[in-house]
Amino acid sequence: MSEREICLSGTGVSKVFGFGNRKTVAVDNVDFNFYSGELVSIVGESGSGKTTLIKMLLGLTSVTEGEIQFLGKKRDIRTRSKKKEYWKDIQAIFQDPFSSYNIFSKIDSVLLDCIHMRGGRMLPKAKKIEMMEEACRFVNLKYAEMTNKYPFELSGGQMQRLMIARIFLLRPKILLADEPTSMIDACSRATILDMLLNLRNETGMTIIFITHDMGLAYYISDTVYIMERGKIVEFGSADEVILNPQADYTKRLLSDVPKIHEPWEFSKRNQTPPPQTPVEA
Amino acid sequence: MSKIMLEVNGLTTKYITRYNESVYAVNDVSFQVEEGKSVGIAGESGCGKSTLALSLMGYYFPPLHYTKGDIIIDGRNISGMDPDDVRKNILGTEIAYIPQAAMNALNPTRKVIRFIEDVIWAHDPKISKKDIHDLARERFETLNLPEDTLNKYPVELSGGMKQRTVISISTILSPKVLIADEPSSALDVTSQKMVIKMIHDLMELGYIKSMIFITHELPLLYNVTDDIMVMYAGQIVERGSADQMIFDPIHPYSKGLMGSILVPEDGTRDVKITAIPGTPPNLKKPPDGCRFAERCQYVKSQCRVQNMELAGLGNGRTSRCMMSEEELREAYKNE
Ligand SMILES: Nc1ncnc2c1ncn2[C@@H]1O[C@H](COP(=O)(O)OP(=O)(O)O)[C@@H](O)[C@H]1O
Ligand SMILES: Nc1ncnc2c1ncn2[C@@H]1O[C@H](COP(=O)(O)OP(=O)(O)O)[C@@H](O)[C@H]1O
Ligand SMILES: [Mg+2]
Ligand SMILES: [Mg+2]
């Protein structure tokens, strides 16, 4: 691989809510470098500042202190039009896919909007439909079944897939995913993680994935950042951080996660080691 | 063989919606739990885990309705019992239930000790306040909960403390069966571990005599329970020991479910997780034959017509599938 390009970075980034003795330092002087095409996880317990960091990256909330650089330059989103420009390159999906949604727009119009946002307004109708069909196929939804439906007619997993179909059409450089699988089953979760990995592999998109789930982070990430009470306490490759953690906080989280191969403190399984996969008699 | 604490035979319950449609959420469920044992229930959301938990209390209110079957707790059949009778003589002492999101359901204007009084007085109004307070203090002490928690309001407790408090309140009368529905799913891992430790202690100290533990988090279930039952579309499709179920599932649905496990352990990163394509059937009109047929990659035409019973495989295991264990193992080998 050639020299890696940094697509999003931050120096001394902080976010403070309130003031005086009501002050909450949600994000506390963090530095980070996210590389193009990388799948990065930011892991921490609830309240550690993950969502706040994501909102700053997205430009939904102001940065109290520090600087965010986008594609090597200081990010400038001070005007409405610059912000709109920025959002062509950076998009997000959230934990509750229904929350970030206009419940009155039908699914096909949601997808059509994405094509329009990418400057495809003048494309012939057949071409637009073809693009929407492709996007639905990518997330294993049937376009024909989506037309004329409202988002609330879909299950949580289908809805989250629709959000990925949106991203597929929008083709941002960076996708921020804030716990997109924490409200759905392990089974649908597997599907969604697969789709995000495919998206990254096919488009080279940078994906920043927020989660509190160490097992999930280990599975999908190239790089893992660990956040504790607003601070980044360690980062590195997934193998480094998960298999050889340095920070006490990471060590504690890892030891508290229920395991299936290694022992876990209050496990019923401690007396008996797990059996080998049975061999044919 | 040790004593059976809970025996469920052919339990069938359904919701009747406002539009008078039936949702067959628990269908012909049978199983047993022995004294000192815990049994886990796993399955995708919507498969009927919470409905089963609710149904086991033998206490029904609309839209949930009892259809048939027996619930026998320590030899006593509670199905068909009068609701007032259940409330007074069963809930709390025979069976205790911690619903999903229980910790957020505590009335915020009342102190913890008041909830304990409620639970005890519902069972026996003659017990004195002093006796209740002595019992509560002693119980909190043995469970390593700070005594001053008793005089706190729910909002003054952190999420993990709140949940441990809810569990102590629910089990104050030392029930024979504890049913815990996703008791730690909303918590961070460290608080979750404390909840599990407490459940462990309750069992060790004999404050609960058996447990049904529901969660969709399989690594957690693996560590908490002796046996695991997998539920699909209102039915139990397989039961085995935790080790058997996690490492060697037999039923195609269980097999699919176990393929989605993620744990932060060496070597797991290289194993691709798998999903089961499709979605569970609509429980308003469950399909004939095997309910998993539609999504099963080993489906045969017979599967769609013949209703299978949960059958013994030997080795204490049961599975609900047309194919024999040997056939299934052969099929998995060729994957
Ligand atoms: N709009 C807000 N006003 C005040 N405090 C906030 C606000 N948003 C978040 N916080 C606080 O900032 C901290 C970090 O929250 P959040 O970023 O949501 O964490 P996470 O996503 O890791 O759970 C928490 O203490 C939270 O209460
Ligand atoms: N109050 C209700 N009225 C009608 N249907 C319900 C009600 N509650 C749950 N259901 C349905 O019953 C089925 C089982 O739900 P539930 O027991 O909550 O599953 P789980 O706990 O496994 O996620 C689902 O199909 C669900 O939609
Ligand atoms: Mg968050
Ligand atoms: Mg449930």
DSSP letter for each residue of A85-145: HHHHHEEEE-SSTTTTS-TTS-HHHHHHHHHHHTT-TTS-HHHHHHHHHHHHHHTT--HHH
How far lies A58's CA from each of A34, A176, A262, B272, in Å? 14, 8, 38, 31
- pLDDT for the residue numbered A281: 40
User: Which ligand 1 atom is the nearest neighbour of the CA of A48?
Assistant: 22
How far lies A207's CA from each of A195, B131, B158, in Å? 12, 59, 33
Contact B219 A258 (CB under 8 A): yes
Report the range of poorest mean pLDDT among A132-146, A264-278, B130-144. A264-278
- Written as six digits, the tokens of B124 are 């026996």
Peptide bond into B219 cis (omega under 30): no
A150 lines ligand 1 (CB under 6 A): no
Report the range of poorest mean pLDDT among A184-198, B19-33, B315-329. A184-198
- The H-or-E segment that residue A281 falls in is none
> A182: burial class by Cβ within 10 Å (0-12, 13-18, 19+)?
middle
Say which CATH class A6-271 falls into.
alpha beta
Q: Using one digit for the tens of pLDDT, what is the confidence trace for B188-246? A: 999 999 999 999 999 999 999 999 999 999 999 999 999 999 999 999 999 999 999 99
- Written as six digits, the tokens of B263 are 């744990």
A49 lines ligand 1 (CB under 6 A): yes
> A39: burial class by Cβ within 10 Å (0-12, 13-18, 19+)?
buried
- CB atoms inside a 10 Å sphere around CB B232: 26
Whether the per-residue pLDDT at A101 is higher than 70: the answer is: no
- Written as six digits, the tokens of A27 are 């994000």
Of B252, B186, B184, B262, residue with least CA distance to B218: B262
Cα(B173) to centroid(ligand 2), Å: 29
- pLDDT for the residue numbered A280: 46
Instruction: Report residue A177's pLDDT band, with 50, 70 and 90 as the boundaries.
Output: very high
Question: What is the mean pLDDT of the segment spanning A48-59?
Answer: 97
Predicted model pTM: 0.94
Q: From 2.60.40.420, 3.40.50.720, 3.40.50.300, 2.60.40.10, which CATH number describes the B4-260 domain?
A: 3.40.50.300
Question: What is the mean pLDDT of the segment spanning A50-74?
Answer: 97
Q: Are B235 and B291 in contact (CB under 8 A)?
A: yes
User: Which ligand 2 atom is the nearest neighbour of the CA of B181?
Assistant: 21
Contact B279 A155 (CB under 8 A): yes
Q: What is the DSSP letter of B136?
A: H
Q: Are A43 and A214 in contact (CB under 8 A)?
A: yes
Sign of dihedral through CA atoms A154, A157, A163, A164?
Answer: negative
CA distance B273 to chain A (A): 6
User: Which ligand 1 atom is the nearest neighbour of the CA of A212?
Assistant: 22
What lies within 8 Å, CB to CB, of A245 at 6+ separation is A226, A234, A251, A254
The answer to whether residue B104 neighbours chain A at the CB level (below 8 Å) is no
Q: Are B96 and B33 in contact (CB under 8 A)?
A: no
CA A80, A83, A88 angle in degrees (round to 5)? 135
Cα(A47) to centroid(ligand 1), Å: 6
DSSP letter for each residue of B215-257: -S-HHHHHHH-SEEEEEETTEEEEEEEHHHHHHS--SHHHHHH
CA distance A102 to chain B (A): 25
Contact A257 B274 (CB under 8 A): no
Cα(B44) to centroid(ligand 4), Å: 9
Q: Is A229 left (phi over 0), alpha (psi -120 to 50) or beta?
A: left
CA distance A105 to chain B (A): 24
| Rg from Cα positions in chain A | 21
DSSP letter for each residue of B60-87: --TTEEEEEEEEEETTEE-TT--HHHHH
End-to-end CA distance of chain B, in Å? 39
Contact A186 B219 (CB under 8 A): no
Highest-pLDDT range among A101-110, A151-160, B39-48: B39-48
Cα(B200) to centroid(ligand 3), Å: 30
Instruction: Report residue A150's pLDDT band, with 50, 70 and 90 as the boundaries.
Output: confident
Out of A140, A217, A275, whose CB is closest to B243? A275
CA distance A83 to chain B (A): 35
Contact B188 A213 (CB under 8 A): no
Q: What lines the ligand 2 site, CB under 6 Å?
A: B 15, 17, 23, 25, 43, 45-51, 63, 283
* Alpha-helix residue ranges (DSSP H) falling in chain A: 50-58, 80-89, 107-117, 125-138, 143-146, 156-170, 186-203, 214-220, 238-243, 248-256
- The H-or-E segment that residue B333 falls in is helix B325-333
- Pick B279 or A7 by higher pLDDT: A7
Q: Could you state, in order of their start, the residue ranges of all structural domains in chain B?
A: 4-260
- CB atoms inside a 10 Å sphere around CB A229: 15
Which of the residues B221, B253, B263 would you substitute to probe the A interface, choosing the one with the greatest number of A C-beta atoms within 10 Å?
B263
Contact A254 B268 (CB under 8 A): no
**Residue A44 to residue A38: CA distance in whole angstroms:** 19
SS3 track for B203-226: HHCCCCCCEEEECCCHHHHHHHCC
